[in-house]
Amino acid sequence: MTSGAAAALVTGASSGLGVALAGELARRGHALTLVARRADRLRDLAAELAGEHGVRVEWISMDLTDASDRDRLPAELAARGQTVALLINNAGMGTTGRFHELPVAREVELVRLNVEAMVALCGAFLPGMVERGSGGVLNVASVSGFMPVPQQATYCASKAFALAFTEALTIDLHGTGVTATALCPGPVRTEFGGLIEGLPRRLFLEPARVAREAIDGLEQGRRTVIPGGGNKVNAVVGRHAPRAVFMPLARRFWPS
């Protein structure tokens, strides 16, 4: 890649929605840098996308929950002559179960990935976008970020953070030429698993559709993207329903 070449940086790009987001960006002609832990999957996906779409695709294997590993990313990209024009914070994890029965170390790891890594990468790359007067960030939140979800206390709290953080960024970034978009999907047909495995299959959306709507929203500078009519309803109900009403219903009807 030539010096200063612009690329879209996609985290969590080795599986699921990350693969779909990378594919949608490549289809639209974006050069890519893929980041995840699994080097073999990144290598294969990079070759596939480059061959199919004729774009430059590079990859970096790293653990984004490890601050020392994560903090080398800006220098690694600079050494490759890359500029991050779009930041796709997709890397994330989930846990399922009553919080007091779960290993706390795993819950802390979830916060490091879903929250800390997202903030750190925005802090690393948004200043450069603002200086250039162009760019965008897509933070993958969830429809769960609009509501307290039984047996997903840490996960839904992390997605509520992602949603509020992104909405606040849109205020901070106003007039800079840089945009921030929160993607808030419901169940998606991926390897994610967890509590959503108990939900009816008709509620699940295909990753390609979610990715397409996400990148459309990013290009349009939208604040939030909520794919699927049912998910839009759930988001409104989850955000605005009185908690005294919502929480007893959640306890009664949520899969256990």
> Catalytic residues, which ones?
155
Distances (CA, A) of 160 to 41, 143, 153, 236, 239: 30, 9, 11, 14, 10
Q: Between β-strands 32-36 and 5-11, what pairing exists: parallel, antiparallel or unpaired?
A: parallel
Please give the Cα distance from 67 to 102 (Å, whole number). Answer: 24
Q: What CA–CA distance (Å, rounded) separates 224 from 244?
A: 26
Answer for the pair 114, 121: CB distance below 8 angstroms, yes or no. no
State how far the Cα of 162 lies from the Cα of 151, in Å rounded to an integer: 19
Amino acid at site 167: E
DSSP summary character for residue 250: H
Q: Which pairing describes strands 178-183 and 135-140: parallel, antiparallel, or unpaired?
A: parallel
The DSSP letter of residue 84 is E
Helix (H) or strand (E) holding 6: strand 5-11
